[in-house]
Amino acid sequence: MEKEQILSEVQEIFRNILDQENLVLSAQTTAADVEDWDSLSHIQLVVAIEKHFKIRFTSREIQSWKNVDEMISSIQSK
């Protein structure tokens, strides 16, 4: 799947989980840029993304992401 397509699907998941209809993600977005994206909601996001793409991240991957782009690379690599 193309990165752009993944980003748009991930953005939809973020909007739903964080309950922010107009949230826009870019490759460079970090947790600090998004309201309510904290360690607790991060767990929800990860679980939702895993379900959506039918993949499993490793704990190491989850801790290594510095921005949305790295998260998307992980998804793409599965």
Partner 1 sequence: MSADIQSFTHLLKNIKKGAEGLKTYRLAVLADSASQFVVKAIKGTGIEYGVNYEIFEADYNQIDRQVFDTGSELYEFKPNCVLILRSTEKLVKHFYSLPKTGKSNFAEQQVSYATELFEQVSRELGCSVILNTFPETHDSVFGNFSSKTSLSFPFQVKKVNLGLMSLSQDKKNLFLLQLDSLMNRVGSAIGFDSKMYIGGDMVYSLDLLPYLSKNVHDIIQAVNGTFKKCVILDLDNTTWGGIIGDDGLEGIQIGDLGLGKAFTELQLWVKELRKRGIIIAVCSKNTESIAKEPFEKHPDMKLHLEDIAVFVANWENKVDNIKYIQSILNIGFDSMVFLDDNPFEREMVRTAIPDITVPSLPEDPAEYLHYLRTLNLFETASYTEEDESRTLLYQEEAQRTILQRSFTNEAGFLESLDMKAVVKPFDNFTIPRVAQLSQRSNQFNLRTIRYTEADIKNISQSDKHLTLSFNLADKFGDYGLIAFIILEKQNKDTLFIDSWIMSCRVLKRGMEVFTLKSIVELAKSQGFKTLIGEYIETKKNGLVKDHYQKLGFTQSSDGKWSLDMDSYMPTVETYITKTEA
Out of 2, 40, 54, 77, point to the residue binding partner 1 (CB under 8 A).
Answer: 40
Nearest CA-CA partner of 8 in 68, 67, 57: 68
CB of 48 to partner 1, least distance (A): 8
What distance lies between CA 70 and its chain's CA centroid?
9
Nearest-angstrom CA–CA distance, 25 and 47: 18
| Residues 45-74 as x/- pattern, contact with partner 1 by CB under 8 A | -xxx--------x-x--xx-----------
16 binds partner 1 (CB under 8 A): yes
